[in-house]
Each structure stands twice: as C-alpha cells, then as structure tokens.
C-alpha cells in the first residue's frame, strides 16, 4: 500500500511561548530574513530561506506582539506589552532606542523609506516616530475609534492603515491631515492586514472571512468564507494567484485567489495558528502558532513519506553542521547577549 505523501515543513524551535507575529524582509544583497514576535518577550531573527536562527533581540520585559524589519533588513522594531516599542540594530542585536508608551503596544511598522516608525496599541493613538530624530516627540494621531490591532503604510508612505481589536473595519488615514479618508467595512475585527508587495491589494482576515481590497480605489475585489475562524492571511507576492490562511483549526489552508477553492492544507502545528506570511519571492510561507514553533512550508513541496521529518533548527537544536556553518554561527552569536550564549554553549556540550 502506498504511503500517504504530505508536505514536510522546516520546523523552527526556539521560542518558549506562542508566536504571534511574523515579518519577512524584502530580498537584500545578503538574502532575505524572517523576524518573529512571541509572548516570551524575545524577538528572533532567522535566515528567511532556511529558517536558521541568526540571533535574539533581548531587552523587552513583556510579551512582544509585533515585529518588523526595515527595507534593507538593517534595523528591526518590536512592540510589546511592557508599554514600549524598541528599535534594534539587526546586524549586532543592539537596542538602538526605546520608545515609551502609556499602554500595551500591539503593532509597529517601518515606512517604506525607512525614516519613520509607526506604532499603535491599547491607547487608541497612532504614533509616528522620526528615526532621524529619535529623541524628538512623535507625531500623534489620536482619534482611532478603538484599541489598535494592526498598522501598515501604503501609497509611498502617504497613507496609514489601521484596524482595531474590538470593532470591525480597516481605517485609512491621510498622513498629511491625520484624518480618516476611507473605512473598509468588515463584520468582525480585522486581525491581519497585509499590503501586497506590488501595492495593488490589501488582504484582510476578519472572523471566518478573508477579503481582498483594491489598495488604490478601496473597493472590495474578493471575499471568501473560510472553513474556520482565521487569524491571518497572506497573498502570494509574485503571481498573486494563491493565498494562505491560518487560524483556530491549527491547519494552514492554501487557496486559489481567483476562485477561492482550497488547493492545499498543511497540518503540523499543535495549537491555533496566529500568523502566516509569504516569503518575498513567493516560494515558501511561514506560520507561527500557539505551540511556540514557526514552520516554513514550500509552496510546491517535494513529496515525503508521512513519517519523515526534517531536522529542527532552533537556537539550541542539535544539528549536523559543516565547518563553514559553525564559523558563521560563531560570527552571528555576538547578536545574542550573554544569557543566550551560555545556553548555546550548554547545547554544544550536550
């Protein structure tokens, strides 16, 4: 009897609590990178292609809800339940700046030109920090109708997008006037909002629905009902012909963009899926879960037997490595502070 063929993801261990946000950098001269936010308070940076751990940003005192990289993947930012957003050097892991807030920071995003950092959270205030003058007070846009869940930039940094944790809809703000210029209406609160790589679509997940909006004229292009409540959705960036969604049933569903037909379903997580994102080239996508793992799935996976598994590649996983890999790891280990270094040494000795 033939064994069932299934997709086998790269499993990235390392976080000790649920993974709640993922962000891929664009392709840079050094490849592309994946940063993850977790309730364990320590965002992690990985090679976006292999999932290999590069370093851990240490300094937050509470759950980290949001993370992002700038266009060149030289700086990272994170928003946390410790009432702060932090700016990091993505090459050394050093904290460059801590922006204090008066409540939990739920979302953060770099502007396309990398000069500004946008934050939002429980305070219902959108803040725009000028990274060229990090000590200057931020610009504040304070008439959000609810606690802010997601933020993004679009239209060459002329427009800001935000959604709320407690009410439906996506609001689009004109950055010059600070006023809402459009609201994209949804029944349930929008838990995930992604601007497509080419700037054409806004992909939203609300309740058990994934919607695609025209990012320039703001009309609804497509709306598909999902098999369960989904927390996150992502559109394939290269051809725009597929999208993935993940949520409370623990599976990653792959759909045809044009018809809404399910064309794949990946099982592997042991808890609800909080975030899914496509890599910048569209060849793979990552999922983060309540189970504390990140899984990277190939879009057209090679077939494996059901009982095959790929080696874990977390910061303490025992993996066979070449001399070159070891040399690279030693270089990047500087990113992590002393605590993680000790942990790494223990793992090496094990």
Residue/partner pairs of 344-350 with CB below 8 Å, 24 or more apart: 344/315, 344/316, 346/316, 347/315, 347/316, 347/317, 347/318, 350/318
- The predicted structure's pLDDT at residue 315: 52
- The predicted structure's pLDDT at residue 184: 98
* Beta bridge mates, 244: 234, 254
- The predicted structure's pLDDT at residue 141: 96
- The predicted structure's pLDDT at residue 340: 42
DSSP codes joined into one string, 229-271: -EEEEEE-TTT--EEEEEETTS-EEEEETTT--EEEEE---SS
Q: Do residues 269 and 293 touch, judged by C-beta distance below 8 A?
A: yes
Return the structure tokens found at 70: 């700038």
Q: Do residues 287 and 269 touch, judged by C-beta distance below 8 A?
A: yes
Q: What is the DSSP letter of 251?
A: -
pLDDT at 277 over 70: yes
Give the pLDDT confidence of 43-65 residue by residue, as tens digits.
Answer: 999 999 999 999 999 999 999 99
Give the pLDDT confidence of 156-166 residue by residue, as tens digits.
Answer: 999 999 999 99
DSSP codes joined into one string, 86-99: EEEETTT--EEEEE
pLDDT at 348 over 60: no
Q: How far apart are CA 109 and CA 117, in angstroms?
A: 6
- The predicted structure's pLDDT at residue 4: 52
pLDDT at 341 over 50: no
Q: What is the DSSP letter of 28?
A: B
Give the pLDDT confidence of 100-152 residue by residue, as tens digits.
Answer: 999 999 999 999 999 999 999 999 999 999 999 999 999 999 999 999 999 99
What is this structure's pTM? 0.86
Q: What mean pLDDT, rounded, does the chain reach?
A: 89
- The predicted structure's pLDDT at residue 309: 44
To which H or E segment does residue 324 belong?
helix 323-332
Return the structure tokens found at 95: 């904290």
pLDDT at 259 over 80: yes
Chain position carrying tokens 């008066």:
102
Return the structure tokens found at 342: 């000790």
């Amino acid at each position: 009897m033939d064994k069932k063929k299934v997709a086998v993801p790269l499993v990235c261990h390392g976080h000790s609590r649920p993974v709640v946000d993922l962000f891929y950098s664009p392709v840079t001269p050094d490849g592309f990178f994946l940063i993850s936010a977790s309730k364990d308070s320590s965002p992690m940076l990985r090679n976006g292609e292999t999932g290999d751990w590069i370093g851990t940003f240490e300094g937050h005192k509470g759950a980290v809800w949001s993370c992002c990289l700038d266009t060149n993947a030289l700086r990272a930012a994170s928003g946390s339940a410790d009432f702060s957003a932090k700016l990091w050097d993505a090459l050394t892991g050093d904290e460059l700046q801590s922006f204090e807030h008066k409540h939990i920071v739920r979302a953060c995003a770099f502007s396309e030109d990398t000069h500004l950092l946008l934050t939002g959270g429980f305070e219902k205030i959108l803040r725009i920090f000028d990274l060229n003058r990090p000590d200057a007070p931020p610009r504040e846009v304070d008439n959000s109708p609810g606690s802010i869940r997601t933020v993004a930039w679009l239209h060459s940094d002329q427009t800001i997008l935000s959604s709320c944790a407690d009410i439906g809809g996506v609001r689009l703000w004109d950055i010059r006037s600070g006023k809402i210029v459009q609201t994209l209406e949804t029944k349930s609160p929008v838990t995930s909002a992604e601007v497509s790589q080419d700037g054409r679509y806004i992909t939203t997940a609300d309740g058990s629905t994934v919607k695609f909006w025209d990012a320039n004229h703001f009309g609804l292009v497509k709306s598909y009902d999902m098999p369960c409540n989904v927390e996150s959705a992502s559109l394939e960036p290269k051809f725009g012909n597929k999208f993935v969604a993940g949520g409370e049933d623990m599976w990653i569903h792959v759909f045809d963009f044009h018809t809404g037909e399910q064309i794949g379903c990946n099982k592997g997580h042991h808890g609800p899926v909080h975030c899914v994102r496509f890599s910048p080239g569209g060849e793979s996508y990552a999922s983060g879960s309540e189970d504390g793992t990140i899984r990277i799935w190939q879009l057209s996976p090679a077939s494996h037997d059901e009982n095959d598994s790929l080696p874990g590649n977390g910061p303490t996983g025992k993996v066979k490595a070449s001399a070159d890999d070891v040399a690279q790891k030693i270089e990047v280990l500087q990113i992590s502070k002393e605590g993680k270094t000790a942990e790494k040494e223990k793992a090496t000795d094990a």
